[in-house]
Amino acid sequence: AFFNLAPAWRLFIRSRRSL
């Protein structure tokens, strides 16, 4: 489960950093 969330979490942080 964590492995699958790993990519999503990274993308989420990247989006927040962009904001």
- pLDDT digits over 1-19, tens only? 566 777 888 888 888 877 6
pLDDT at 9: 86
Identify the sign of the CA torsion 14, 15, 18, 19.
negative
For 2, the token pair is 């964590």
pLDDT at 15: 85
Rg (CA), the chain: 9
DSSP label of 16 = H
Rounded Cα distance between 8 and 19, Å, is: 17
Q: Could you tell me which of 19, 18, 15 has the C-alpha nearest to residue 7?
A: 15
